[in-house]
Structure formats: structure tokens, C-alpha cells
Structure 1
Amino acid sequence: MQSSGSSWTATESATSIGDTPPRSRFALRGRSVRLDGRTEAVRRDLADIRLADRVFAPHYAVAVRRSVGRMTDVTTSAGGPVLSQLLPGEPFDVLEFTSTHAWGRSPIDGSVGLVARDALIGEYAVSHIVVVRESVVYADRSTATPLPMPLPMGARVAATVTGDWAEVDGGYVPAEHLRALSDLSGDPVDAALALHGVAAVAGGRSGAGVDAAGLVFLAHGLTGEAPARFVDLQAAEFGVALAGGDPLRHGDLLFFADHVAMLVDGDTAIHADGSVTVEPIATLDRFGPVLARRRPA
């Protein structure tokens, strides 16, 4: 999606009339810029006020932070294509509510779109992230009563860890299934391999299913800094570019027209194609030519 086409950008000032409290106004100067509607919250009628210095819109909105209570899709329109997902415990910045949906931006993966309004709850602080494919939540530590609300890899929780168990909202999970958000480290290839066999799902980026870019996003997000959410942005921005003749190694990324694979070693790669699978690099030519080779920093 692009800006409204105005040749102006905005700078903010404050004015007041009589006893009326000062209100923000915008002096429009310079040229606007084209924005990517997948990651920048701008429509023809509305934009995030944080973009006011870059784009003109008829109306601006101040984001209202909510937390995600259950996994839900981020779509381009009601019932439209799935761009990404929100996972339990993640924040979401709402810019507009309708009776059934909320439009806004995920500060975790940067995706912009509509989500189900009933998937959002009041904001709360989280401390840990799920690092196994799926963590069952138990009503108590006896493991006798599993609750019907498993947490997928990538979900975030407010957890109190005591010994082998972590108390989370609604129950208990094994402490080894979580990692503190302040202590993200490790090998992203190992994180990806833990998802071997998981279904490929449009927009997926959790232990319940991933798309090609979602696998890379999740694996790196669990072990350090996550890349951009979408394949083309990862290919352009993530890590450092490799020349065509540079030798490839563990962890390098191969990008195709609409696909990405992560090298396990010099001969094999893991990627999401039907399911998360490991296969020889030589067989990936079905996705077309390699358009970019990147090495995570």
C-alpha cells in the first residue's frame, strides 16, 4: 500500500484558543514517501500518528496497546489473504476498532492488518517465550489434568519459575519449555530443526505452523534478533549479502522469488514446503534461481 499521493509530509506544532487546551496541528512541508502497507500502518483514510512526519493522511490515530489472548491471523481485509499471525502473549497496537475486528500493527513482526477483535485482551507484561514445538498447560503440577490450551512455540507468557515448573496464567508448564525474553540465544538452525514435520501454513510463524519466511523469523527470534517478517524484506535487509561464488555454510540463507531456505550444512537446507523439511540444496532449483544469499550477522 502507498501513501495517499500528497506531495507533503508533516511536522507537529501545538496551538490553543482561549481556555481550550493546546491541540497538535501539522505544518506540511516537503514530499511524502511511499510506504509498504504490509509493515507501515497507513491507509487512504487513516494512518498511525507515528508516521505523520512521513506521510499525509486525512486522519491520524494514536495506537492503543492490547495483548493477544489466542493465536489469530493478520489479514489484509476481513476474510482476505493471511499476511501473518499474532501469538498468545504478544502485543498489538490497535489504530481502529470495528464491531468484529481491529486494524493495527504488530510490534513483534511489524505486520499491519486486521485481526479478530475477540482475540485481543487488556495489555499485560510477559517474561518468557515458549521454545518447544508445543507446551501443554496443566491445571496443577501432577500433570494429571492437561488443559485445552496448549502454547505453541513462539507464544509469550508471564511466568514464575519454581524448580522444574513455571506457573503461567491458568496453569503450569515445564520450566524447560520456556526461555526468559532477557536470555535469548542459541543456534537458529537448531530451533528450525525442532519444527521438522510441522505443517506449512500461510502466514504461520509458530510451532503450530509456519510459512517459509515465518520459519526464519521464528528460529532467529527465539535465539536472538528476528529478521523482517516477509521474504523480500529478509532478502534485502537481513545479515550481510554473499556473492554468488562465496562458499556457503551452516545458517546461511538462500532466497528465491517467494521462498527462503536455511542451510543446515554445505549440502542440505531446512525450509517450509508443505511441511518443514530438510532436503539437499540441489533439489531447491524447483523454486527458480537463487536471487540472494545472506549470512546472518
Structure 2
Amino acid sequence: MSLSIAHPVVDLLRTPNGPRDRQLLFGDDVTVLARTEGWVEVAAAKDGYRGFLPSDAVRDTARATHWVSAPATHAYEAEDFKSPDRASFSFGTQLRVQSTGDRFAKTDQGYVPKAHLRAIGDPLADPVAVAETLIGTPYLWGGNSRFGIDCSGLVQVACLACGLPCPGDSGPQERALGTRLPEGSAYQRGDLLFWKGHVAWVRDPDTLLHANVHAMAVALEPLDAAITRIAEQGDGPVTAHKRLFD
């Protein structure tokens, strides 16, 4: 049975009442695998990630038509930015637009600024540019939203926004994404560097862009300094340098 997420952000748990593994956003499609009292086990359509959600976190709804392409947005009660806001939605949230006016799109969640929406099937082009819009987002283990995100969440959010399939965790990302480059290869924008349990975008040949505990945020860091810091803190060397684009 296919349903979609009914709340702005929902933790995808390893077990009922267990630890958060990832997060799902309003409008994300899921397949219900099983139901227990108060809980549903689901698989996320975007990456196959499995976990548990409270039963009220999913709903049967019409397919989304647009997605939020601003870092975050609000849904208002009326076509007026001074009207009360009903909800806040993160980058990547999927919504069904019912009609549009001069400045706002009407959805079943309220009125959302048209400038913050993009049609489903209309991807962005540069995943690093997407990740750059999330600089300053607080670090959150397992996070996938503008309100909190981790290293693999940042990679997945940026890839999916650009129409690139992407697993949810750094280990599967290392195996699935891009082409592995020989050690000592030059860095270029859009490359990914992997460590055991960590991943970072190459923003330019001298700079990494990643969600990290050192800054507790999505932040820029000098590339060579980051490699040294990560090794010295005990997390080891770079395990892979991958290139997404030729």
C-alpha cells in the first residue's frame, strides 16, 4: 500500500520508539510493509530506506505536483504574507498545487509563495549549488531537512534535487555514486570525498562543503585542513574520491 508523509518532518526509526536512522518530509511517498499498534513499517520510495513511523505520520493523498526549491518556506492561511502561517516546510518537500495566483500557490496545507516552488520533474542542475543554499543548517544525526541535516543527508538532498538517484547513508553512497578516482587525482567542484562514516562535497579544489560535528552545521572548510583534522581525530584517511560528472 502506497501512502505519503503527513507531517513537515518525520523521523524514520530503526524500531518502534527506537533511534532515528533518517528523516522523511511531507509528501514523500512510502510503501507500507506492516502495521503494529500505533506504528507502520515503511520503505521510502526515494531510496528504499526502511524503518518505522507513527501511524498518524502517513496519509492517503493525491500525488504531489511541485516541490519546495527554496531552503525553507511557509504555508499561509491566505494569499497574504502577513496572514498567519500554518506550517514550515523544508527544501525538498513535495506539495500538491490546486491553483495559483499572482504570488501564491494554493495547496491543501495553505498558500505557499510561488517563487519557492518548482514543478515535479523539473530538477536543478548543480548539486553543490543546492548544498550551498543549506550552509548554516544545524547538524543533526540522521537529519534530512533545512531544520537539521547530517553529511549523507546533505549529499542525498542535493543529488535528488538534481534528478540523481542517491542512497540515504554514506556507505551505500560511496558504493553507488560516481566514478572512483586514483589516489592523488586533482579535485574539482562536484566531487565527493568519503571517509568511514562521513562524506563531503568538493566545493572547489581548495574547499570542502559538508555537514559536520566539528562545526555542528553545514559549513565550508579548507580541504587539506579537513583531511588532516579528520585523520587526527581518529576517523582515518579518505576512503574514496568519487567523481559524479565528467
Q: TM-score, normalised by structure 2?
A: 0.91
Name stretches of at least 5 consecutive residues in structure 1 with no aligned partner: 1-63
Deviation at 1:249?
Answer: 0.2
Distance 2:121 2:101 in 1: 18
Distance 1:237 1:170 in 2: 35
State the aligned residue count: 234
Match of 1:127 among 65, 71, 81: 65
The one-letter code sitting in structure 1 at the alignment partner of 2:13 is T
Q: What are the within-5 Å matches in structure 2 for residues 207-218 of structure 1? A: 207-218=146-157
Cα deviation 1:81-139 (Å, max 9, x = unaligned): 21111110111110111121101200113210111111111132101111112101111
Query: Corresponding residue for 2:239?
Result: 291
Note if 1:150 corresponds to 2:88. yes
Q: Is the contact between residue 153 and residue 207 of structure 1 (CA under 8 Å) also seen in structure 2?
A: yes
Distance 1:167 1:207 in 2: 22
Query: Corresponding residue for 1:69?
Result: 6
The one-letter code sitting in structure 1 at the alignment partner of 2:162 is T
Query: Corresponding residue for 2:53?
Result: 115
Look up the SS of the partner of 1:216 in the other structure.
Answer: helix
Q: Is the contact between residue 166 and residue 173 of structure 1 (CA under 8 Å) also seen in structure 2?
A: yes
Bigger relative CO (Cα 8 Å, ≥ 6 apart) = 2
Match of 1:190 among 129, 132, 137: 129
Cα deviation 1:229-275 (Å, max 9, x = unaligned): 11011111101111112211001000000000101100001101111
Deviation at 1:191?
Answer: 0.7
Q: Which has the higher strand share?
A: 2
Look up the SS of the partner of 1:140 in the other structure.
Answer: coil
Name stretches of at least 5 consecutive residues in structure 2 with no aligned partner: none
User: Structure 1 residue runs of 4+, over 3 Å off?
Assistant: 160-163
Query: Corresponding residue for 2:222?
Result: 280
Deviation at 1:204?
Answer: 1.0
Note if 1:267 corresponds to 2:206. yes
Note if 1:244 corresponds to 2:244. no
Q: Is the contact between residue 205 and residue 214 of structure 1 (CA under 8 Å) also seen in structure 2?
A: yes
Distance 2:19 2:36 in 1: 19
Structure with higher Rg: it is 1
Deviation at 1:146?
Answer: 2.9
Note if 1:173 corresponds to 2:112. yes
Note if 1:253 corresponds to 2:195. no
Distance 1:217 1:150 in 2: 21
The one-letter code sitting in structure 1 at the alignment partner of 2:160 is G
Q: Is the contact between residue 76 and residue 87 of structure 2 (CA under 8 Å) also seen in structure 1?
A: no
Of residues 199-208 and 162-171 in structure 1, the stretch that sits farther from structure 2 once superposed is 162-171
Q: Percent identity?
A: 31
Look up the SS of the partner of 1:227 in the other structure.
Answer: coil
Distance 1:135 1:251 in 2: 26
Cα deviation 1:167-217 (Å, max 9, x = unaligned): 111321111111111111221111111111101112111212111100000
> Residues 152 and 225 (structure 1 numbering): CA distance in 2 closer, same or farther, change over 3 Å?
same
Of residues 78-87 and 186-195 in structure 1, the stretch that sits farther from structure 2 once superposed is 78-87
Of residues 107-116 and 259-268 in structure 1, the stretch that sits farther from structure 2 once superposed is 107-116
Q: TM-score, normalised by structure 1?
A: 0.76
Note if 1:203 corresponds to 2:142. yes
Q: Is the contact between residue 153 and residue 208 of structure 1 (CA under 8 Å) also seen in structure 2?
A: no
Match of 1:221 among 160, 163, 173: 160
